[in-house]
Structure 1
Amino acid sequence: MIEASCSCGAVSLSLPGPTRLVAACHCIHCQRRTGAPFGVGAFYPADAVTISGAPREYVRAGASGGKVRSYFCPDCGSTVYWQADNLPDMIGVAIGAIADPDFPAPVRSLFEQSKHAWVEIGSGVERFEQSSLRKS
C-alpha cells in the first residue's frame, strides 16, 4: 500500500500501489489549483482507494462539460485528490501528496496548448491538446 496525504496529515488516502496511469496536466485550472506550471496526477479505480479524514470539496466546470471535484484539507489547504464526471470510476491523486521521488513518471501530457514554453516533458509520453484529446 501507498499513502498519500495533505501537508498536515488530516486528509489521507491509502492506495494499492504505483499505477501506470500518471498524467501531467497543463490546463489553466491545474496551474491555479497547484500554484505551479502544471499538475501531475496518478489515477486509480475509485473502489481501490480508502479515504481518511474530512476533506472539503471544490466543484468547477471541466473542459468536457462535466464537473471536476477537487478535495482538499480544510486545515492546511492542500489538494489531495479529485474526481471528474467524465471518469466517474477513477480518482486522480496529486503526486505531491504521495511524496515519493521514485514514483513513476507521467505517461501522458494533457492540455499542451497551455504548457509553459520552458517546461520539458520527456520523450515517449503521449501528448494531447485540449479536451478533445487530439494528439499533438
Structure 2
Amino acid sequence: MMDRIASCSCGQLTARVVGAPVRISICHCLACQRRTGGPFSEQARFPRESVTPTGVSSEYVQAGDDGPGARFHFCPRCSATVYYEPLGLPEYISIPVGAFADPGFPAPTVSVYEGRKHGWVVPPSPAEHFQ
C-alpha cells in the first residue's frame, strides 16, 4: 500500500497518507487562484481515515465560488497549506499535490471551473472537464 507524507515548507506540519487518492483534480476558480497565488490549484482527495495530520495548524475557512467551501489547515510558522477539509464532503480530506514534493505524483483526471481558466493553461488529457 502506498504511503506518502505531505509537509509544509518548514516541516512542522505534516499529513501522512496511506493508500491511493480517490480523485486528483485541478481547480481554476478565482478563490483557488487567490489562495495559491497561481493560475489554478491541484489537489488529491483521500478518505478521511487514510490521513494522519501531525503538528500544529492554523485554520482558515474559505467559501468557494459555489458550494460550502473548505477549512484549510496551514502552518502558523511558514504559512504553507498542508491539507483541507471540503465542507460539503466531510468523509474526505484534500491535500495540495505540491505539499508532497513528488514530481512523480499522478496527473489530475478532473479539471473544474474551466470557464475561469487562464487561456494558456492546457489541462491534461484524458480528463473530465467541467465549466
TM-score, normalising length: structure 2: 0.93
Aligned to 2:24: 22
Alignment partner, residue 121 of structure 2 = 119
Quote the residue 1:93 is aligned against.
95
Which ranges in structure 1 are unaligned for 5 or more consecutive residues?
130-136
The CA deviation at 1:63 is: 3.7
Q: Which stretch of the first structure deviates more once superposed, 4-13 or 14-23?
A: 14-23
Structure-to-structure mapping, 1:5-44, within 5 angstroms: 5-44=7-46
Letter matched to residue 47 of structure 1: E
Aligned Cα root-mean-square deviation (Å): 1.2
> Is contact 1:20-1:104 (8 Å) kept?
no
AA aligned to 2:91 is D
Letter in 2 for 1:14: R
Residues 61-89 of structure 1: CA deviation (Å, up to 9, x unaligned):
23444241111110001111111121111
What's the CA shift for 1:42?
0.5
Q: Which runs of 5+ in 2 are unaligned?
A: none
Out of 82, 106, 125, the position equivalent to 2:84 is 82
Runs of 4 or more, structure 1, over 4 Å off, are none
TM-score with structure 1 length normalisation? 0.90
- Hey, what's the Cα distance between the residues in 1 that align with 2:63 and 2:41? 17
Which residue identity does 1:27 align to in structure 2?
A: C
Count residues with an aligned counterpart. Answer: 129
Indicate conservation of the 8 Å contact 1:56/1:71, yes or no: yes
